[in-house]
Amino acid sequence: MEVFSSTGLTSKVVRGSAWSVGGQGVTLLASLVATPFVIRLLGPEGYGVLALINVLIGYLAFTDLGMGTASTRFGADAHARDDDGDGEAAVIWTSLWLAAVPSFLGAVALALLARPLSEHVLHLPANLIEQAVIALRLTAIGFIARTLAGVLNTPQLVRLRMDLFILINTGTTAAQICIVPIVLFLGGGLIGAVATVTCANVLALLLNALASWRLLPSLARPQLNSVLLRPLLKFGSALIVSSLVGMALISSERLWLTRFVSITALARYSVAYTLASLLVVLPAAINQSLIPAFSRLQARDTTDDLTALGQLYWRAQRGTLLWLAPAVVVVVVAAKPFITFWAGPDYASAVTPFYILVLGLIFNVMAFVPLSLLTALGRTNLIARYHTMELLPYLIGAAVLTYMYGPAGAATAWSLRVFADALLLFRAAKRSTGFAFAPTRLRPWRYVLVIAVLAFPVLIFSLLDNNLAVKAGALLIGLVAYAGLVWRKELSAEEKAWMTTSWGGFKHRPLSQKV
């Protein structure tokens, strides 16, 4: 396979990632516009409750038994073997049955326990308990729809049809984000906001089912393949552990904030976390294409495919590193004025935890690549093992640091944990495949010199408090200088030629083919 040809898998991954980035960009833009209205219309306490609901739903993610990812991985194997009929459909239907039953039971449990959770576990204010109970029960319905959609979208992901995947999921998500402020303005409150999200999840399920049936007509015949149960459950069981432990690793500091500080502190921390998570948009988008691409290459187990697997892994590292440095600079220099303007003066204190979270996200973003590779290789047991090892030290550290330093302590605990996690994942990827961490074409110190030009806008922003025009100019100059140095010093002639050819082909392609 010619990895850098326009028809190669790398090109498909890039195109799929471009669609994912575009979709996440639309979602992000909608969130940036809508969230300030949601914050103000709900108030700090109401917004904090909404954040808590999202945390609780995250804890239910394990009930799908990991079948969303398992279906993509095993479906990609079937597709790689040219088994696009009953074999792939059997994977999807078997995964769907395995996911549906426990997810339904989890949703029922959430609905039944909504009141004791609100009163005795979360200790919500009395005036918010009734709203929280109804909101949790509505969320349980949306959770079931989202779980089923996560399996039924497999044919789109396996074929890297990210255009369909993004149009459906981004369309429903963006619509939901835009409608929620309107519902709040009309007096719908927290319950109306959650009901809107639930309706969007149900619509996404129906559209994903229709699109996948068009791509894979044999999906219209429900079936359960008992032979697939064991490998799917073996793969998914590690994902269950990883997902369950991972939710505690991702969000425990928020529960400690609610317990030790206040629901208002959680709301401010959530603003900082939401903005810092902008750095995850691109790697999350690339991850959606990388897992099926890695799975297809490792499934055939030929020398050429394994070589291509190593090349794709290396290029994914490089691509992540090259965009990460300027992205970090942009979010850091814009953080303080943006948070004050976007969320309001009451959230100015979110800047400090924001900076700390960004430090951790640098390592978290780089770790998406080995995480995708290990998932495609079926080494989910390693991911689960590492997350389990991290859990107890993190829970203790997060509790102590949050109790002592509030939101800044919570952010510090989270960042230290993701730093350790990244080191473990890169180590596991190397031991499993022999593929080392080597994202730069030249020696690492040469790349350090390249990114040094980005210190210029940071210095200007720290010295000049009020001159926005000068700050914007300094940022633009730094970004242009960085791009020029990367083009001249970091990219190979082959990479430059591929980028030029791909861009030229896209420009001259008819609009109907671009979409």
C-alpha–C-alpha distance, residues 89 and 221, integer Å: 8
Closest CA to 17 of 163, 215, 154: 163
Task: Please state, in angstroms and as integers, the Cα–Cα distance from residue 16 to each residue in 101, 176, 286, following that order.
Answer: 32, 24, 8
pLDDT at 340 over 80: no
Instruction: Using the structure block, give the residue that is written with the tokens 């389990």.
Output: 388
> Is 268 inside any structural domain?
yes
pLDDT in tens, 41-52: 888 777 877 877
pLDDT in tens, 392-402: 899 999 999 99
82 or 143: whose pLDDT is higher? 143
Handedness of CA 4, 9, 10, 13 (dihedral sign): positive
Closest CA to 441 of 396, 495, 481: 495
Instruction: Please tell me whether residues 175 and 255 are part of one structural domain.
Output: yes
Here the tokens at position 318 are: 């490089």
Half-sphere exposure of 302 (CA within 13 A, CB side): 9
Amino acid at 93: W
Angle (deg, nearest 10), helices 126-152 and 67-80: 10
180 neighbors 47 (Cβ within 8 angstroms):
no
Confidence at residue 49, expressed as pLDDT on a 0 to 100 scale:
79
C-alpha–C-alpha distance, residues 312 and 162, integer Å: 18
Please state the rounded mean pLDDT for residues 100-122: 86
pLDDT at 418 over 70: yes
> Is 2 inside any structural domain?
no
275 neighbors 343 (Cβ within 8 angstroms):
no
154 neighbors 75 (Cβ within 8 angstroms):
yes
1 neighbors 8 (Cβ within 8 angstroms):
yes
Instruction: Please tell me whether residues 425 and 507 are part of one structural domain.
Output: no
DSSP state, residue 122: S
442 or 407: whose pLDDT is higher? 407
User: What is the helix (H) or strand (E) element at residue 345, kind and residue range?
Assistant: none
Instruction: Please tell me whether residues 337 and 451 are part of one structural domain.
Output: no
200 neighbors 175 (Cβ within 8 angstroms):
yes
Instruction: Please tell me whether residues 299 and 384 are part of one structural domain.
Output: yes
pLDDT in tens, 177-226: 999 999 999 988 888 988 999 999 999 999 999 999 999 988 888 888 88
> Is 3 inside any structural domain?
no
pLDDT in tens, 243-257: 677 767 777 788 888
Instruction: Please tell me whether residues 415 and 515 are part of one structural domain.
Output: no
Please state the rounded mean pLDDT for residues 405-430: 91
Q: Which of 419, 439, 459 is the last residue of a domain?
A: 439
Which residues constitute the domain of residue 58?
9-439
> Is 1 inside any structural domain?
no
Instruction: Please tell me whether residues 427 and 371 are part of one structural domain.
Output: yes
Residue 414's contacts (CB-CB under 8 Å, 6 or more residues apart) are: 250, 253, 357, 360, 398
C-alpha–C-alpha distance, residues 304 and 454, integer Å: 39
> Is 332 inside any structural domain?
yes
Please state the rounded mean pLDDT for residues 419-429: 91
Instruction: Please tell me whether residues 33 and 95 are part of one structural domain.
Output: yes
96 neighbors 150 (Cβ within 8 angstroms):
no
Please state the rounded mean pLDDT for residues 305-321: 80
Q: Which of 439, 471, 502 is the last residue of a domain?
A: 439
- The residue count of the chain comes to 515
> Is 23 inside any structural domain?
yes
Confidence at residue 175, expressed as pLDDT on a 0 to 100 scale:
92
359 neighbors 415 (Cβ within 8 angstroms):
yes
Instruction: Please tell me whether residues 435 and 447 are part of one structural domain.
Output: no
Closest CA to 107 of 202, 176, 31, 223: 202
Instruction: Please tell me whether residues 421 and 515 are part of one structural domain.
Output: no
C-alpha–C-alpha distance, residues 173 and 176, integer Å: 5
DSSP of 212-229, one letter per residue? Answer: HHHH-GGGGS----HHHH
Buried b (16+ CB within 10 A) or exposed e, 39-73: bebbebbbbbbbbbbebbbebbbbbbbbbbbbbbb
Here the tokens at position 45 are: 């306490």
Instruction: Please tell me whether residues 409 and 507 are part of one structural domain.
Output: no
Instruction: Please tell me whether residues 429 and 463 are part of one structural domain.
Output: no
pLDDT in tens, 455-497: 777 776 666 656 666 777 777 887 888 888 777 777 666 666 6
Confidence at residue 85, expressed as pLDDT on a 0 to 100 scale:
64
Q: Which of 394, 423, 439 is the last residue of a domain?
A: 439
> Is 353 inside any structural domain?
yes
97 neighbors 232 (Cβ within 8 angstroms):
no
User: What is the helix (H) or strand (E) element at residue 344, kind and residue range?
Assistant: none
> Is 4 inside any structural domain?
no
Per the structure, the count of domains in the chain is 2
pLDDT in tens, 67-99: 888 898 888 888 777 655 678 899 999 999 999
Instruction: Please tell me whether residues 120 and 133 are part of one structural domain.
Output: yes
